[in-house]
Amino acid sequence: MPPISRGFHRRREPEPDQSRIPPGQYPTWDFPVLSAGPTPHTPTDGWTLRVDGAIDEVRQWTWDELLALPSETFTVDIHCVTKWTKLDTTWTGVSLDTLLGDVETEAEYVVAWCDGDYTTNVPLEDLLGGRAWIVYDYGGEPLEPEHGGPARLLVPHLYFWKSAKWVRALTLTLDDQPGFWESAGYHDYGDPWREQRYWGD
């Protein structure tokens, strides 16, 4: 047991409902900016989102087309592998059920490709059933670049490194293909409730 530093505590607001905090996590009231590299600044002019890979045909949306799709505003808790949890974050975006709804595929996995060359992998079924979105607003305002704007993937039931910032393409794959952090020691799936942070967890 390390020595306790008398009088030190994390910044506190009213104590949250502990049942919402996964094991090993601590609530935060700010929104830490974490990244594998410098923040890209991608103009929405010329921005596209592709869905490709092992599917019937490639789909692509421009920024205007994305914003014209049916969207939702919703509130979720998010959990970072570096141990902070932020409760009640509000986002606006398009459900992956809308984007992938009519896709014909035998693929079981998805790789998200992003500006800045970041990648992450997620089982296809984890993106469906109302569990994932492409979001472009946070807290009622356009998503800032440092938090992934213009648009990011949001998969709140997994550790937040899976909610890939600056997403530009989703490639459906037959086999699981570990992404950036998954290739560097982090868990392939990343369920915060089973504390799947690292390889072998």
Partner 1 sequence: MARAAVLGRLIGRLAWRTATVREVVAESEHAVTLVLDVTDWPGHRAGQHVDVRLTADDGYQAERSYSISSAPEADAIAITVERIEDGEVSPYFTDVIRPGDQFELRGPVGGHFTWSVSDGGPILLVGGGSGFAPLMAMLRHRAAQDSDVEVHALVSARTDADALYRDELAALGPAEGLHVAWTFTRGGPPGWTGYTRRVDAAMIAEVGPAPARAPRCFVCGPTPFVEWVTGLLVDAGHDPQHIHAERFGPTGGRA
Partner 2 sequence: MSGEQRQLDGNGVAALLEELLGADATGLVRVCAGCGQRHALGAHRAYRGAGWVLRCPGCADVAVVIGVAEERLTLQTRGTFAIPR
Q: Which of partner 2, partner 1, none does residue 186 bind to, with CB < 5 to 8 Å depending on kind? A: partner 2
Site residues for partner 1, window 140-159 (CB under 8 A)? 146
Rounded to a whole number of angstroms, the minimum distance from the CB of residue 124 to partner 2 is 22
- Look up tokens 């049942």; give the residue: 19
Using CB under 8 A, pick the residue from 37, 129, 130, 139 that binds partner 2.
Answer: 37
User: Is residue 19 part of the contact set for partner 1 (CB under 8 A)?
Assistant: no
- Look up tokens 């505003």; give the residue: 73
Q: Which of partner 1, partner 2, none does residue 61 bind to, with CB < 5 to 8 Å depending on kind? A: none
User: Is residue 159 part of the contact set for partner 2 (CB under 8 A)?
Assistant: yes
Distance CA 139, CA 86 (A): 13
What distance, in Å, lies between the first and last C-alpha atoms of the chain?
22
Distance CA 179, CA 173 (A): 13
Rounded to a whole number of angstroms, the minimum distance from the CB of residue 185 to partner 2 is 3
Distance CA 169, CA 172 (A): 10
Using CB under 8 A, pick the residue from 14, 23, 38, 70 that binds partner 2.
Answer: 38
Q: Beta strands 72-79 and 84-95: pairing type?
A: antiparallel
3-class DSSP state for residue 126?
helix
Site residues for partner 1, window 46-105 (CB under 8 A)? none
Rounded to a whole number of angstroms, the minimum distance from the CB of residue 73 to partner 1 is 23
Longest Cα–Cα distance of the chain, Å, equals 61
Q: Name the residues that contact partner 1, by CB under 8 A.
A: 2-11, 26, 30-34, 146, 183-185
